[in-house]
């Protein structure tokens, strides 16, 4: 996660949310886990999509796992 986050210049919160989503947590549950609202989670995810060049959570996860294990 650290190398991926550094490569795409993700903020600590974006990394935290990405990690939880990649572990199978639904974005609505992520908000409860990290102590923020669902709208904030969506904002962090949208910023992450833009930085990584993805259009959604599935594509983001594919990119993350292919680069992490590629």
Q: Which CATH number does the domain housing residue 63 bear?
A: 1.10.10.10
Please, what are the averages of pLDDT over each run of 10 residues along the chain (70 residues)?
A: 92 96 93 95 97 94 85
Q: How far is CA 19 from CA 2, 12, 31, 64, in A?
A: 10, 11, 13, 10
The pLDDT of residue 53 is 96
The pLDDT of residue 2 is 87
Q: How far is CA 70 from CA 2, 4, 10, 37, 58, in A?
A: 15, 12, 20, 33, 17
Domain that holds residue 57: 2-69
Contact 61, 52 (CB under 8 A): no
The pLDDT of residue 70 is 61
Number of domains in the chain: 1
């Amino acid at each position: 996660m650290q190398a991926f986050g550094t490569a795409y210049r993700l903020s600590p919160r974006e990394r935290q949310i990405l990690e939880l989503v990649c572990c199978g947590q639904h974005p609505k549950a992520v908000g409860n886990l990290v102590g923020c609202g669902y709208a904030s989670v969506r904002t962090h995810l949208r910023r992450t999509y833009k930085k990584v060049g993805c259009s959604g959570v599935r594509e983001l996860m594919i990119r993350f796992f292919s680069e992490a294990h590629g």
